[in-house]
Structure 1
Amino acid sequence: MQWSTALLLALTAPSSALIRFQCSQLVRERLDPLVSPGLVPSPHVHQIVGGNSFNATMEQAKDMPGESTCTTCQFSEDFSNYWTAVLYFRARNGTYKRVPQHANAGFDGSTGGGMTVYYMQDPLYDTAQKSKVTAFKPGFRMFVGDINARTKEQAAHFRQLTYTCMDDAGSREHETVAFPNHVCPYGIMTSTRFPTCWDGVNYDSPDHMAHMAYPVNGTFESAAPCPATHPVRTSQVMYEVIWDTSSFNDPNDWPEDGKQPFVWSFGDATGYGNHGDYVFGWKDQALQNILDTQCYASSCGGKQQSIADMNKCAGLKETVSEDIDGWLDALPGGHQAQYS
């Protein structure tokens, strides 16, 4: 899959937006149309936000605005789908319980807590956003992370997947690449940052990663250049998900061996296997128009809807019928906690 020369020339257009918005939760279930399209159920539970055309296949999903009737995201022309794995608590007796989610500060009332999505030309702290980028186009998709990573070394390539142990709703410091090993009074925030350098040709790749790359000799935060193999600079897509761990903060309920008690729905109890999935689905030129506008966060114009209207799209009918919320002897799909 390729983009035309005309689209590549559009990269010279100026961009100056930092887009930050909330999406209510669409559905939680074992579906993964990016990594395991058509497999019902997929290996582990995900939590998904965005357009309601989300389904088990989506292999050729290029007209998500046309296929969707609504979206759980604040921008009503964003029918993209964004998803992550789901966090569980492992009790002292070995059973598991799904960890609920907080909505981010300022977005109270979002169904299921959802997630906050960013599109950034420059680091979050740089409100000028002076870099020139282009919006993705229909058919674009990507994945970040290594589901099999269980050590810091194995996760090193994906250095921008982090955790923040939150004392309160405003906590944003001391990010780690592994699960926090102590009580987090308010919750644990996961930040999933996707690569920002595109090969200029492919919408996707077999592993959903090879068409994208990180900057060379530095990071997105240091404004390092893109590699020659991936010369096109794109916005950094970032997810923030806040897991409400407050109900599980009694150390007497934690495993007796002293290990931290949280585990991803695919069995990773180290945190190094953190990952995220993205399928682009903005309508027409809506995203590019916003990127070409001087704006910040919720002032970015476009067609926006209220949290109440976002929530009307939540609750997509489940394809997989199973208990993912009770106290479980094993994680859905038969997974058990893995600490190495």
Structure 2
Amino acid sequence: MKWNTLTSLALFAPSHVVALLRFPCGQLMVDRVDPLVNPGMAPSPHLHQIVGGNAFNVTMDPSKDMPGESTCTTCQFSEDFSNYWTAVLYFKARNGTYKRVPQKQNVGFEGVNGGMTVYYMQDGLYNFQQTSKVTAFKPGFRMYIGDVNARTREEAERFRQLTYTCLENMNTRDPQTLDFPNKPCPAGIMTALRFPTCWDGKNLDSPDHMEHMAYPEFGTFETGGPCPASHPVRMGQLFYEVIWDTSKFNNKADWPADGSQPFVWSFGDGTGYANHGDYVFGWQGDALQRALDSPCYQNCPTLKSQNNAAMNACKKPGFVKEDIDGWVSILPGGHVANYRK
């Protein structure tokens, strides 16, 4: 069963809903660092927007106690010092200059600065009966999803649920596409990143940060397909929604003269097929497993919450000093918009 609006789910979700965690995380920093793909490198090749615990750093040494090193988090649940990050969206004007697109929160999370909405689920977003037993991620766990080099639909289809929605209003959720919307979107563009849900049960990471995880043998997490024998442990689904406020860039007179869509990822992808995201686990103790095992929807009684002011107050100074807010002739890291390999 699909919802038509986020608010309808909140209003009609039955009282026995189990473990559908949905919460806002404000902006921690926007910087050219990526400790998962490019550990130790500052600046890293392209710009990212990062949310979560303030222990985020250039190396993110997996041997260290991530939750213990953080003193605050930009996420609603104050026991969650994980870090979640994606690339940054830019607008390319007709004159060839670029401007970073700001982010805004989902309906119901107004007042939280930028960032994203994070989900942890047992049975998928559209299933009210969140009753399956799933395993929480472990200390030291990390993963990545997507392909920064993808420029064709075929390459993007390897990843089953990395999509875009052109928001007619803030409650729009369909249709979803693999590439950038090709028309002005009145309320912005939402990117959705659903991570694989089957773990090999052994490795907290892998060389490409993906091999230790897999999709179900068929279908998606929501369809309930079984995990492959190589990855037998069924995890909760981690899911990001990032809303890019493209409304101020909707004047088609500013778009490319040929009428093509004007948005580009911070590493130069103008197709949208290279959508990707990163995750480093950082929940305190057994907080995430307790939440996944307990009846809760959004506001989970087993977890400690903090208010908007506390989320917004958690900040991290940038590692790389460069202009990320003004109009620029080239993207940070020397990238330009490209549409094919």
TM-score interval w.r.t. the shorter chain? Answer: over 0.9
Residue 42 (structure 1) aligns with = 44
User: 2:116, 2:241 within 8 Å by CA — same for their partners in 1?
Assistant: yes
Residue 109 (structure 2) aligns with = 107
2:99 equivalent to 1:97: yes
2:327 equivalent to 1:327: yes
2:84 equivalent to 1:82: yes
Residue 285 (structure 2) aligns with = 284
TM-score, normalisation: structure 2: 0.93
Given candidates 64, 73, 76, the residue that maps to 2:75 is: 73
User: 2:164, 2:178 within 8 Å by CA — same for their partners in 1?
Assistant: yes
Residue 250 (structure 1) aligns with = 251
User: 1:17, 1:300 within 8 Å by CA — same for their partners in 2?
Assistant: no
Partner SS for 2:67: helix
Residues 133-171 of structure 1: CA distance to partner in whole angstroms, max 9, x if unpaired?
A: 111111000000000000000111112000000011111
Which amino acid letter does the alignment assign opposite residue 82 of structure 1?
Y
Residues 81-110 of structure 1: CA distance to partner in whole angstroms, max 9, x if unpaired?
A: 000000000000100000011111111111
Taking only the aligned residue pairs, the percentage that are identical comes to 68
User: 1:213, 1:230 within 8 Å by CA — same for their partners in 2?
Assistant: yes
User: 2:291, 2:300 within 8 Å by CA — same for their partners in 1?
Assistant: no
Which amino acid letter does the alignment assign opposite residue 95 of structure 1?
T
Any gaps of 5 or more consecutive residues in structure 2?
Answer: 1-16
Which amino acid letter does the alignment assign opposite residue 336 of structure 1?
V
User: 2:126, 2:222 within 8 Å by CA — same for their partners in 1?
Assistant: no
Alignment root-mean-square deviation, CA? 1.1
Which amino acid letter does the alignment assign opposite residue 68 of structure 1?
S
Which amino acid letter does the alignment assign opposite residue 334 of structure 2?
G
Residue 26 (structure 2) aligns with = 24
Deviation at 1:299, TM superposition (A): 3.9
User: 2:117, 2:240 within 8 Å by CA — same for their partners in 1?
Assistant: yes
Residue 172 (structure 2) aligns with = 171
Which amino acid letter does the alignment assign opposite residue 49 of structure 1?
V
In 1: Cα distance, 2:127 partner to 2:182 partner: 31
In 1: Cα distance, 2:313 partner to 2:250 partner: 33
In 1: Cα distance, 2:181 partner to 2:282 partner: 34
In 1: Cα distance, 2:302 partner to 2:246 partner: 34
User: 1:127, 1:296 within 8 Å by CA — same for their partners in 2?
Assistant: no
User: 1:16, 1:130 within 8 Å by CA — same for their partners in 2?
Assistant: yes
User: 2:88, 2:266 within 8 Å by CA — same for their partners in 1?
Assistant: yes
Any gaps of 5 or more consecutive residues in structure 1?
Answer: 1-14
Residue 269 (structure 1) aligns with = 270
Residue 309 (structure 2) aligns with = 308
How many pairs are equivalent? Answer: 324
Deviation at 1:62, TM superposition (A): 4.0
User: Would the alpha carbon gap of residues 272 and 105 (structure 1) be closer, same or farther in structure 2, given more than 3 Å must change?
Assistant: same
Residues 99-133 of structure 1: CA distance to partner in whole angstroms, max 9, x if unpaired?
A: 0111111111112x110000011111112211111
User: 1:40, 1:320 within 8 Å by CA — same for their partners in 2?
Assistant: yes
Partner SS for 2:290: helix
Partner SS for 2:223: coil
In 1: Cα distance, 2:304 partner to 2:260 partner: 46
Which amino acid letter does the alignment assign opposite residue 79 of structure 1?
F
TM-score, normalisation: structure 1: 0.94
Partner SS for 2:299: helix
User: 2:219, 2:225 within 8 Å by CA — same for their partners in 1?
Assistant: yes
In 1: Cα distance, 2:336 partner to 2:67 partner: 38
In 2: Cα distance, 1:239 partner to 1:268 partner: 20
Q: Which runs of 4+ in 1 moved over 3 A?
A: none
